[in-house]
Amino acid sequence: MDKEDKGMAKEFSRMFLILPEIKELLSQNKKKELKKLFYHYEPIEAVEILKEFNLKDRVSLFSSWDVDFAAGVFEKMDKDDQVELLGAFDETRKGEILDEIAPDERVDFFEQLPEKMVTRFLAIMEKEEAQDVRELMKYDKNTAGGRMTTDFAQIEEGISIEEALKTLRETAKDLEMIYYIYVVDRRDKLLGVVSLKDLIMAEPEKKIDEVIHTKLITIPIDMDQEIVAKRIAKYDFLALPVVDNEQKMKGIITVDDLIDVIREENTEDMYKFGAAGKHTEDYLSTKPFTIAKHRMTWLSILVITGFVSSIMLERFPFTLKKWLPLAFFVPLLMGTGGNAGIQAASVMVRSLATGEVRLRDIWRVIKKEFLIGIMIGVGLGLLTLIRAFTLQISSPLYPLALTVGLTMIATVTIATSLGAALPIIFEKLGLDPAVVSGPLITTVVDITSLLIYFEIARRILGFG
Amino acid sequence: MDKEDKGMAKEFSRMFLILPEIKELLSQNKKKELKKLFYHYEPIEAVEILKEFNLKDRVSLFSSWDVDFAAGVFEKMDKDDQVELLGAFDETRKGEILDEIAPDERVDFFEQLPEKMVTRFLAIMEKEEAQDVRELMKYDKNTAGGRMTTDFAQIEEGISIEEALKTLRETAKDLEMIYYIYVVDRRDKLLGVVSLKDLIMAEPEKKIDEVIHTKLITIPIDMDQEIVAKRIAKYDFLALPVVDNEQKMKGIITVDDLIDVIREENTEDMYKFGAAGKHTEDYLSTKPFTIAKHRMTWLSILVITGFVSSIMLERFPFTLKKWLPLAFFVPLLMGTGGNAGIQAASVMVRSLATGEVRLRDIWRVIKKEFLIGIMIGVGLGLLTLIRAFTLQISSPLYPLALTVGLTMIATVTIATSLGAALPIIFEKLGLDPAVVSGPLITTVVDITSLLIYFEIARRILGFG
């Protein structure tokens, strides 16, 4: 991480060295120079530079840029900044930018706007582009339809390579991805794909049909984004075509969309494992109360479940009065059990997410984790036994130490098996295994280990 | 997950319907038909189909395919299967396959072989390819050099678009990525990049220098793969060039390599958060003893730290004898504190990993989490207070309930703040914030909450 900071710092300085120059040029209103200055920067870098300027300067900077660079920058900005900035543009600039940004990014932008603003913005856009927004807004955000872009390269069957290249040259300027060209029939039904590599390698007179790949991996338009991500990651394509029920070509999902999806899904999994509730768009800008509310849900459930442990201890007060040293080890036994459970659960949740472990492996995994649990349990049990012998107590030491040591073995074994089994059982039941969080495991293990503790104590110390 | 299973099942059946046909063709040794059958499948699908066949049949299937399809399948197989299969090929086939597979995949394969096998395999390969393997094996597996492929498209400065396209046509067959063409000078120094899109859009007579992009994002050859992944994800390029200290072009890292890196890094982070020790290549095939050993390290440390809690309780036996009901709430208070800490830590570990939260936000975050902690604490404190009033005890109920309720508020507040602060402090110290695991948090919180509990009890119940 240290190294990374250095790497980041280098990029950082590359950008921020030019801040004084930009300020100077802005104050002199030298638009041409500003435009030229940004030739050396990627849109995402311009976004970071913009953060250092106020709204008025941002508008000036945008007006100095070509519309395609401006659109590229705009689509990478935070949602809040986009709305604020767009509000400050004049009507022409508004329309230009909205027409130019990538369809998938544009829909993300529109989806967070109130209905009234959507209508107002659509009115100033070109008809065709506005129609595209309306079409894409119909799809659920988390499906292929909500993720795809409609700017893909398309040609009709039957034409020659030369004609295909000509069509491509005419349309390529506005497309996000021209390296795969989708071949459709007259009714837009997807027939196959040719890559730009195929096109430039083939004789110009050849027909498209001679180079077309008809073995197609397609994405149904209503497919969940998580499955889409897995499918794209599995096949090493730069993009996959999205089709409707009638195999009509609707859009494409590119590999960089996939990276965003993977990132989101991983964040969600981590939040779930931490039982931290719903992931909000942006941690820093979310109100503490909102975050507290999200986290409360799980915590309340776990606290109420946790009451069971206090009730169990309440029922055994005579035992505890007589064998008070038993109480000293309650946190240690519960804590270690919980930790062993978290270890196994984190491994299993992740293995299920990557597909390394599948449902059919369930018995193999549980058997394996049981063995692992015994091995760890025996090791830690011995450690605890030794600690117990250091007690300064009046009660007989030997049976007490034995009780504590044996409980450690049993607790860790059961916790490990349970930690591994729960995510698989959740998946088997059609639930999300990532819901098996650390806190859920510790709470379940807490109660289990108390039960084991008292049972072993009862048998060895002989009360009951 | 349920939906996903269905999606997967569909792909599954697409592949497995042809198993009987393949078996039939194999038994009749109809190689041509076998080759044709696989036209409809991607290499990764062939890998899954291969799993259903024994070694002898696998060799027959490989010998029915073209060498480029065979190489594509080979590079996607598990490492163990690769070694076994290669051993079964005759020498010619061995050399062919090794020459053909992608350089980055090939190095991964060679890196796991014993030195003796490396030498033997290199001897049957073409000189140039063998040299390439030796070159790539010099770099650390987790750096850009270890991840890059050397099959990139390259042209020299000064030539025309037409000449560039001609060069590309001649070399493209063996390249992994021909959509970015890197322009170098005579000493291989990287000058810029042109996209295939630029080439086909420009007039053929124009010089490369008129369309070249010289604002270049490059990857130093020794950069850590995690930072490489972040950099590629940030800029939406399909590939980034890898250069040495003298800006000489050494290779490219493509976006699909990045996906593997992200996946590995996320797995590592999850293992760390679960304190589950080192991530092994493959869970199912790793011996239980090895896994147990990995997990033991952290658990032993945590158990020994956990002894502190038992020592603390041992020191307070008189208190506990007099106020035994205090003991009933120890697991609940510790457990809830631990859970609240895990929530905050999971959010923070993830936010640091995605870059959503940076080091400079440290005070803002701690202030925020403190507030969140108080809100959650008050809610759960009230809940616990109510529960305490249901106790059936002879001691005065009111001060005891107050003690428990107040401890809950304090514990949750401190646990939440601590859970958020620890990952940031780790990052600040140049350590990996992902090491702040659930188990580490719960262990720290366990001890803290016991201290708070006894202190509040002492003040309210008036002993000490």
Q: Which residue out of B12, B232, B268, B299 would a mutagenesis test of the A interface target, given it has the greatest number of A Cβ atoms within 10 Å?
A: B299
- Look at strands B177-184 and B152-156 and give their pairing: parallel
Rounded Cα gap, residues B193 and B173, in angstroms: 20
CATH number at residue A212: 3.10.580.10
Residue count (chain A): 464
State which of B108, B138, B168 marks the end of a domain: B138
State residue A6's pLDDT score: 46
How many CB atoms are located within 10 Å of the residue B437 CB?
A: 27
* Contact list, B197 vs chain A (CB under 8 Å): 172, 178-179, 196
CATH number at residue B447: 1.10.357.20
- Domain co-membership, B356 together with B378: yes
pLDDT digits (tens, 9 = 90+) for B109-139: 898 888 898 999 999 999 989 999 998 999 9
* Contact list, B292 vs chain A (CB under 8 Å): 371-372, 375-376
What does the DSSP assignment read for B139-185? S-TTBHHHH-BS-EEEEETT-BHHHHHHHHHHHGGG-SEEEEEEEE-
**A276–B7 C-beta distance less than 8 A:** no
Rounded Cα gap, residues B243 and B223, in angstroms: 10
Rounded Cα gap, residues A302 and B340, in angstroms: 10
Q: Which amino acid is at A174?
A: D
The whole-angstrom distance between residue B91's C-alpha and the CA centroid of its chain comes to 36
Q: Is residue B239 part of a domain?
A: yes
State residue B281's pLDDT score: 64
Question: What sign does the dihedral A38-A42-A48-A50 (CA atoms) show?
Answer: positive
Contacts of A41 (CB under 8 A, 6+ apart): A15, A49, B215
Indicate the DSSP class of residue B365: H
| Residue in the structure block whose two tokens are 């007060």 | A317
State which of B85, B108, B138 marks the end of a domain: B138
Q: What is the pLDDT along chain A (464 residues), one digit of tens a residue?
A: 334 444 454 555 566 778 888 999 999 988 888 888 887 788 888 898 898 899 999 999 999 998 889 998 998 888 888 988 988 988 888 899 999 988 888 988 898 888 898 999 999 999 999 999 998 999 998 899 988 999 899 999 999 999 999 999 888 877 878 899 999 999 999 999 999 988 988 888 899 999 998 888 899 999 988 888 888 888 878 899 999 999 999 999 988 888 888 888 888 888 888 887 777 667 777 888 888 888 888 888 888 888 888 888 887 766 777 778 888 888 889 889 999 999 899 888 888 888 788 888 888 888 999 999 999 999 999 999 988 888 777 667 888 899 999 999 999 999 999 999 999 988 888 887 877 788 888 888 988 998 899 889 888 887 64
- Domain co-membership, A127 together with A161: no
Q: Is residue B275 part of a domain?
A: no
Cβ-count burial of B429 within 10 angstroms (0-12 exposed, 13-18 middle, 19+ buried)?
Answer: exposed
Rounded Cα gap, residues A130 and A116, in angstroms: 15
The alpha-carbon radius of gyration of chain A (Å, integer) is 31
Shortest CA gap B321–chain A (Å): 7
State residue B4's pLDDT score: 44
ipTM higher than threshold 0.85: no
Q: Is residue B134 part of a domain?
A: yes
Which residues on adjacent β-strands are paired with residue B180? B195
Q: Is residue B111 part of a domain?
A: yes
- Domain co-membership, A47 together with A131: yes
- Domain co-membership, B23 together with B91: yes
Statement: residue B241 has pLDDT above 90: yes
Statement: residue B5 has pLDDT above 50: no
Rounded Cα gap, residues B241 and B189, in angstroms: 12
Q: Is residue B380 part of a domain?
A: yes
- Domain co-membership, A322 together with A432: yes
Q: Which residue out of B142, B261, B372, B453 would a mutagenesis test of the A interface target, given it has the greatest number of A Cβ atoms within 10 Å?
A: B372
How many CB atoms are located within 10 Å of the residue A246 CB?
A: 9
- Domain co-membership, A334 together with A402: yes
Angle between helices B127-137 and B103-111 (to 10 degrees): 70
Rounded Cα gap, residues A282 and A294, in angstroms: 14
Q: Which residue out of A270, A319, A324, A383 would a mutagenesis test of the B interface target, given it has the greatest number of B Cβ atoms within 10 Å?
A: A270
Core vs surface per residue A408-427: b (16+ CB within 10 A) or e: bbbbbbbbbbbbbbbbbebb
pLDDT-based confidence at residue B15 (cuts at 50, 70, 90): low
CA distances from A355 to A349, A351, B280 (A): 10, 6, 15
Q: Is residue A437 part of a domain?
A: yes
Q: Is residue B236 part of a domain?
A: yes
Shortest CA gap A123–chain B (Å): 30
Count Cβ–Cβ pairs < 8 Å, chain A vs chain B: 375
Which residue among B42, B201, B284 sits closest to A169, beta carbon to beta carbon? B201
pLDDT digits (tens, 9 = 90+) for B74-95: 988 888 889 889 889 888 888 9
- Domain co-membership, B198 together with B123: no
Tokens of B179: 């959509």
Statement: residue B185 has pLDDT above 90: yes
Rounded Cα gap, residues B180 and B152, in angstroms: 8
Cβ contact B402:B419 at 8 Å: no
Cβ-count burial of B391 within 10 angstroms (0-12 exposed, 13-18 middle, 19+ buried)?
Answer: middle
Rounded Cα gap, residues A335 and A347, in angstroms: 19
**DSSP H or E stretch at residue B242:** strand B239-243
* Contact list, A354 vs chain B (CB under 8 Å): 263, 267
Where is mean pLDDT largest: A25-29, B37-41, B266-270, B292-296?
A25-29
How many contiguous H segments (helices) and E segments (strands) does chain B have?
Answer: 23, 6
Tokens of B368: 């925020």
Greater confidence, B311 or B222?
B222
**DSSP H or E stretch at residue B249:** strand B249-254
- Domain co-membership, A368 together with A221: no
Rounded Cα gap, residues A95 and A125, in angstroms: 5
The candidate with the shortest Cα–Cα distance to B14, out of B45, B36, B44, is B45
The whole-angstrom distance between residue A222's C-alpha and the CA centroid of its chain comes to 19
* Alpha-helical runs (H) found in B217-284: 225-234, 255-273
Rounded Cα gap, residues A462 and B18, in angstroms: 65
State which of B72, B104, B138 marks the end of a domain: B138
> Domain limits at B248?
147-255
Edge-to-edge strand list for the sheet holding B152-156 = B152-156, B177-184, B190-195
Q: Is residue A1 part of a domain?
A: no
Note if the pTM is more than 0.80: no
Shortest CA gap A128–chain B (Å): 25
Question: What sign does the dihedral B457-B440-A281-A148 (CA atoms) show?
Answer: negative
Which residue among B238, B309, B342 sits closest to A331, beta carbon to beta carbon? B309
**A334–B302 C-beta distance less than 8 A:** no
3-state secondary structure chain A: CHHHHHHHHHHHHHHHCCHHHHHHHHHCCCHHHHHHHHHHCCHHHHHHHHCCCCHHHHHHHHHHCCHHHHHHHHCCCCHHHHHHHHHHCCHHHHHHHHHHCCHHHHHHHHHCCCHHHHHHHHHHCCHHHHHHHHHHHCCCCCEHHHHCECCEEEEECCCEHHHHHHHHHHHHHHCCEEEEEEEECCCCEEEEEEEHHHHHHCCCCCEHHHHCECCCCCEECCCEHHHHHHHHHHCCCCEEEEECCCCEEEEEEEHHHHHHHHHHHHHHHHHHHCCCCCCCCCCCCCCHHHHHHHHHHHHHHHHHHHHHHHHHHHHCHHHHHHCCHHHHCHHHHHHHHHHHHHHHHHHHHHHHHHCCCCHHHHHHHHHHHHHHHHHHHHHHHHHHHHHHCCCCCCCCHHHHHHHHHHHHHHHHHHHHHHHHHHHHHHHHCCCCHHHCCHHHHHHHHHHHHHHHHHHHHHHHHCCC
| Residue in the structure block whose two tokens are 């914030």 | B433
* Contact list, A331 vs chain B (CB under 8 Å): 306, 309-310, 313, 330-331, 334, 446, 450
Tokens of B318: 């008189």
Question: What sign does the dihedral A382-A385-A390-A396 (CA atoms) show?
Answer: negative
Which residue among A44, A235, A344 sits closest to B235, beta carbon to beta carbon? A44
- Domain co-membership, B152 together with B134: no
- Domain co-membership, B300 together with B429: yes
- Please compute the mean of the pLDDT values over residues B100-116 and round it to a whole number: 88
Angle at B81 between CA B80 and CA B82, to 5 degrees: 90
pLDDT-based confidence at residue B192 (cuts at 50, 70, 90): very high
- Domain co-membership, B308 together with B446: yes
CA distances from A174 to A66, A150, B448 (A): 14, 11, 60
Collapsing DSSP to helix, strand or coil, B205 comes out as coil
pLDDT digits (tens, 9 = 90+) for B408-445: 999 999 999 999 999 998 888 888 787 778 888 888 89
CA distances from A358 to A424, B79, B277 (A): 8, 20, 22
State residue A419's pLDDT score: 92
Rounded Cα gap, residues A292 and A294, in angstroms: 5
- Domain co-membership, B179 together with B38: no
Q: Which amino acid is at A144?
A: A
State residue B387's pLDDT score: 87
CATH number at residue B89: 1.25.60.10
pLDDT-based confidence at residue B189 (cuts at 50, 70, 90): very high
First to last CA, chain A: 55
Domain total in chain B: 3
Rounded Cα gap, residues B210 and A322, in angstroms: 90
